[in-house]
Amino acid sequence: MTVNGNKPKFAMYWAASCGGCEIAVLNIHEKILDVDANFDVVFWPVAMDAKYKDLEGMEDGTILLTLFNGGIRNEENEHIAKLLRQKSQILVAFGSCACEGCIPGLANLSPVGEIVNTAFNTVTTDNPDEIYPLTSFDVPEGELQLPKLVPILRPLDQVVEVDYYMPGCPPESHQITAVIDLVIKVIRGEAELPPKGAVIGVGDSTVCDECTRARNVKMIKEFKRIQDIAPADPALCLLEQGIPCNGPATRSGCQARCPQAGAQCIGCYGPAQGVLDYGARLMTALASVIDAKAPEGIEKILDGIPDPVGQVYRFSLPGSLLKANRAAWRVKPN
Amino acid sequence: MPENFEPTIIGFTCNWCSYRAADLAGTARIKYAPNVRLIRMMCSGRLDPTFVLRALSSGADGVMITGCHPGECHYMEQNYKALRRYLLLQRVLKGMGIEPERVKLVWASAAEGARFASETTLFVEEVRKLGPLHWGKFQTSEGERRKDESSSFIVHPSAFEKELPA
């Protein structure tokens, strides 16, 4: 971290996320030296000590590039998202959580009270006195506060304006490298930024397009879980083998890592170009391979997908049209 | 539920059968519930589940999908695709807390104007019983959440006992 006022400033923040995006950034190996050589890292809570106060004290637009990962789950996330929007020239929704909610977004299937209860008072947590965290507590030194949870998790663009989207759980290293190279070129005046709102570090097709598995006419009599097929044919399309693979709806850019390694695509790169609702596209794809015409036969095949919402919205529930389960919406404040 | 709740229904019709059924119902002056707003597509196989989700999330209380009877599709087999999507969509809707009955699939041939009308009226009454969906309103209130609303939100599980009645 050099202290050099002339270098463009860089920030990275995590909201409701796992930290994998940070690891992915570090996973670009020696390229990280280019980041350091070209940027002055001013705010990156995972990697360096920085106070929110410092950020609040900056002039608007001070930071050139902010990679924001994580969804907006509590008031602190929201506050920092708004603050970083104000202080940054380019705000990138980095990773699946910031783009469309990702795994933490599946919590939108439950009311927030239930989530808290599960975390603090279930068989895995012995809490006979039903003690729950308070959002504020008075101590002799003053009032201590914890950020309040908000009813549903929201992707970054439902809270602030986002300049670019970079999906993936996490984004692939080679894609991060390409984006960093591009930004450095832009700084030097050798390239231009993509149009605002663009999805960057991705392909413009689907995972199936990058997948080398052979595709024939897909019609299946049964959906099966991958662990129940031993072994899956390594050269044949997984969907054709009855494994619900999310490739047909998912944006390319990962070089079809999972199908190439023998596992089905689970959709971390989000909706393909032009897809409004990821789950809807996947429903269309999955329904079209079902080899049955009578409702009973179709239902029987569909029984092979034990968790339909989790299957079609694993990474994209908060970014979908419905966004959350009705029960989560219906939570009303006192 | 308000006494005078009039459900908003979006109806998708296929060009070759069900749209003509609706047309026939009109020319035959058969009365049916005026709650349904029809959108004509070339085929029920064109029905992307996105359309249904979009309708429900934008304020519709129910969606009616109509097409040619099985085996009579103008494009050979596309109505079977609609059926498969519909059955999967219903499972997903259930998982999202939406009554699957809010989305209905009706087959109606071009000659079945009376059937189209009676099925529509029946569906409107079914949705009326279910009450308003209000999905659009949830989204608005969430998207533009007032500050005081969020600050009164506590994390204690008692918060979720105070749900609104359906």
d(CA A269, CA A272): 8
- B146 to chain A: which residues are within 8 Å by CB? none
Within 8 A of B139 by CB-CB distance, chain A residues are 323, 329
Subunit contact A113:B135, Cβ cutoff 8 A:
no
Question: What's the pLDDT at A333?
Answer: 40
Which residue ranges of chain A lie beneath pLDDT 50? 1-4, 331-334
Instruction: Compute the CA torsion angle A116, A118, A122, A123 (nearest 10 deg).
Output: -150
Which residues of chain B neighbour A125 with C-beta distances below 8 Å? none
- For B67, the enclosing helix (H) or strand (E) is strand B62-67
Question: Chain A 39-78, CB below 8 Å of chain B: which residues?
Answer: 75
Please say whether the dihedral angle defined by the alpha carbons of residues A100, A102, A104 and A105, taken in this order, is positive or negative: positive
| Gap between the Cα atoms of A132 and A326, Å rounded | 25
pTM for the predicted model, two decimal places:
0.90
What interface predicted TM-score (ipTM) does this complex get? 0.92
Pick the closest to residue A64 from A142, A9, A145, A131 (CA basis). Answer: A9
Nearest residue in A to B157, CA atom: A113
Residue B155: its chain A contacts at CB < 8 A? 112-113, 116, 132-133, 135, 148-149
Three-state secondary structure string covering B99-139: CHHHEEEEECCCCCHHHHHHHHHHHHHHHHHHCCCCHHHHH
CB-nearest partner of A333 from B48, B52, B153: B153
- Cα distances (angstroms) measured from residue B151 to each of A28, A226, A332, B144, B146: 41, 45, 12, 14, 9
pLDDT band at B18 (very low <50, low <70, confident <90, very high): very high
Contacts of B1 by beta carbon, 8 Å cutoff, 6+ apart:
B131, B132, B166
Among A149, A276, A333, select the one facing B149 at the smallest CB separation: A333
In chain B, which residues have their Cβ closer than 8 Å to the Cβ of A151?
A: 142, 153
Listed in sequence order, the residues at least 6 apart from A327 whose beta carbon sits closer than 8 Å to its beta carbon are A109, A110, A111, B97, B163
Q: Return the number of CB contacts < 8 Å for A and B.
A: 154
Question: Closest chain B residue to A290 measured between Cα atoms?
Answer: B84
Q: Cβ of A149 under 8 Å from any chain B Cβ?
A: yes
CA distance B9 to chain A (A): 17
Instruction: Answer yes or no: is pLDDT of B114 > 80.
Output: yes
Give A38→chain B minimum CA distance, Å. 37
Nearest to A298 among B56, B83, B151 (CB): B83
- Subunit contact B154:A329, Cβ cutoff 8 A: no
Confidence bin at B3 (pLDDT 50/70/90): low
Looking at residue B158, its pLDDT comes to 41
**Terminal Cα-to-Cα distance of chain B (whole angstroms):** 8
Given an 8 Å threshold on Cβ–Cβ distance, is A321 in contact with B53?
yes
From edge to edge, which strands make up the β-sheet containing B36-41? Answer: B36-41, B9-14, B62-67, B103-107
Residue among A113, A287, A321 minimizing CB distance to B54: A321
- Alpha-helical (H) ranges within chain A are 20-26, 31-38, 52-57, 75-87, 96-100, 112-120, 173-187, 207-210, 257-261, 278-288, 295-302, 308-312, 326-329
Partner-chain contact A116 B96, CB within 8 Å: no
Higher pLDDT, B90 or B148: B90
Give the pLDDT score at B152. Answer: 32
pLDDT at B149: 37
Phi-psi label, residue A50: left if phi above 0, alpha if psi -120 to 50, beta otherwise: beta
Rounded average pLDDT over B73-96: 95
* CB neighbourhood size of A219 (10 A): 11
Q: Quick one: pLDDT at residue A122? A: 81
- Tell me if B70 and A293 make a contact (CB, 8 A cut-off): yes
Partner-chain contact B91 A308, CB within 8 Å: yes
CB contact under 8 Å between B98 and A326, yes or no, is yes
Is residue B140 predicted with pLDDT exceeding 50?
no
- b/e string for B38-50 if b means 16 or more Cβ within 10 A? beebebbbbbbbb
**pLDDT tens digits for B73-84?**
999 999 999 999
User: Considering only CB atoms, which chain B residues are within 8 Å of A112?
Assistant: 153, 155, 159-160
pLDDT tens column, A239-283: 999 999 999 999 999 999 999 999 999 999 999 999 999 999 999
CB under 8 A, 24+ apart: contacts of A2-9: A2/A36, A2/A40, A3/A40, A4/A40, A5/A40, A7/A38, A7/A39, A7/A40, A8/A38, A8/A39, A8/A40, A8/A64, A8/A65, A8/A187, A9/A39, A9/A40, A9/A41, A9/A42, A9/A62, A9/A63, A9/A64, A9/A65
Mean pLDDT of chain B: 84
CB contact under 8 A, A279 and B92: yes
- Of chain A residues 295-324, which have a CB less than 8 A from chain B? 295, 298-299, 302, 305, 307-310, 312-313, 320-324
Over residues B54-72, the mean pLDDT reads 94
Shortest alpha-carbon distance between residue B121 and chain A (Å): 24
Q: How distant is the Cα of B96 from the closest Cα of chain A, in angstroms?
A: 4
- How many other C-beta atoms are found inside a 10 Å radius of the C-beta of residue A60? 10
